[in-house]
Amino acid sequence: MSTVMLTSKEQKQSTVITVHNNHPIGGDITTVIAGPCAVEDRDELISLAKQLKAMGVHILRGGAYKPRTSPYEFQGMREEGLLILQEAGRAAGLPVITEVTDIRDIELVLKYADILQVGSRNMQNFELLKEVGKINRPVLLKRGFAATIEEWLLAAEYILAAGNWQVMLCERGIRTFEKYTRNTFDISAIPAIKYLSHLPVIGDPSHATGRPELVAPVAKAAVAAGADGIMVEVHRQPEDALCDGFQSLLPEQMQTLIVQLQKR
């Protein structure tokens, strides 16, 4: 490639993204994003959001459009979910992040979300990348579960090339021969991204491990390796969750993790 990549360190030293409530991502703070995999219930989410805010979480997550492996699994509450997420974020004083899976939904999601997430399964949905490149809102781009670091950076390049430089990357594990964990957290991807790119990088130990008992140690490893933040799934009744309950932390486990991160 002859041109200097927009995502590369040759362009700039570091990018700090400012979210709606002025929270900076990519500076000195370790950003903590937490919440359920999917938005499920209004009152429950409002109450959880307040609890997360009180323990020091910076951004509330919750999927309204869920890209599920099986078409018979819960697909998300769609617009109703967006509305609830926004309401919960406002009630708790937290900005919100949610996934957009389709170009046709971008306009709607923009009405409710402070950060748009592009999921692992859509990392190379180039039309979606070009469209989120045209908006003026931060985007979290998850690594495709079978994507190399170069392919991941090129996917981010699509967004920057279309004009949106407010991009953060998220390592969420890649698929390997190992089956004990849901995916394999590529710890070296964190310093590799910091070495190659000015973009902030977030670690997602929930989807990487698929096991709650591994979430805190992997989250701490991500931060130790240079991650600008973590994104963790939290649910009060993991056994009743409509999506990814098996890997969700209880709020008190999340609180313990935050205290441990603050002690570092």
Cα gap 165→160, rounded to integer Å = 5
Least Å distance, CB 98 to Mn ion, is: 12
Interaction between residue 114 and Mn ion (CB under 5 A): no
> Closest separation between CB of residue 68 and ligand PEP, Å?
9
Among 194, 207, 220, 235, binds ligand PEP (CB under 6 A): 207
Contact flag: residue 45 with Mn ion (CB under 5 A): no
We find the least distance from the C-beta atom of residue 182 to Mn ion, in angstroms, to be: 10
Which among Mn ion, ligand PEP, none contacts residue 120 (Cβ within 5 to 8 A by kind)?
ligand PEP
Which is closer to ligand PEP, CB of 199 or CB of 241? 241
Measured between alpha carbons, how far is 15 from 160 in angstroms, rounded to an integer? 12
Q: Any contact of residue 37 with Mn ion (CB under 5 A)?
A: yes
Q: Which two tokens stand for residue 67?
A: 């890209």
Q: Rule CB under 6 A: say whether 37 interacts with ligand PEP.
A: yes
Of the residues 131, 171, 204, 244, which one makes contact with Mn ion according to CB under 5 A:
244
Site for ligand PEP in 109-128 (CB under 6 A): 119-121
For the CB of residue 169, give the shortest distance to Mn ion in the complex, in Å: 17
CB of 65 to ligand PEP, least distance (A): 10
Contact 90, 99 (CB under 8 A): no
- By CB neighbour count within 10 A (0-12 exposed, 13-18 middle, 19+ buried), where does 3 fall? exposed
- What DSSP character marks residue 73? S
Q: How many chain residues bind ligand PEP (CB under 6 A)? A: 9
Taking a C-beta distance cutoff of 8 angstroms, is the pair 210, 226 a contact?
Answer: no
| Cα–Cα dist 13/9, whole Å | 6
Assess contact for 98 and 116: CB atoms under 8 A: yes
Q: Which helix (H) or strand (E) holds 24?
A: strand 24-25
Residue tagged 């809102």 (tokens): 137
Q: Does position 142 bind ligand PEP by CB under 6 A?
A: yes
Look-up of token digits 């995999």: 37
Residues in contact with ligand PEP by CB under 6 A are: 37, 63, 67, 119-121, 142, 172, 207
Residues in contact with Mn ion by CB under 5 A are: 37, 244
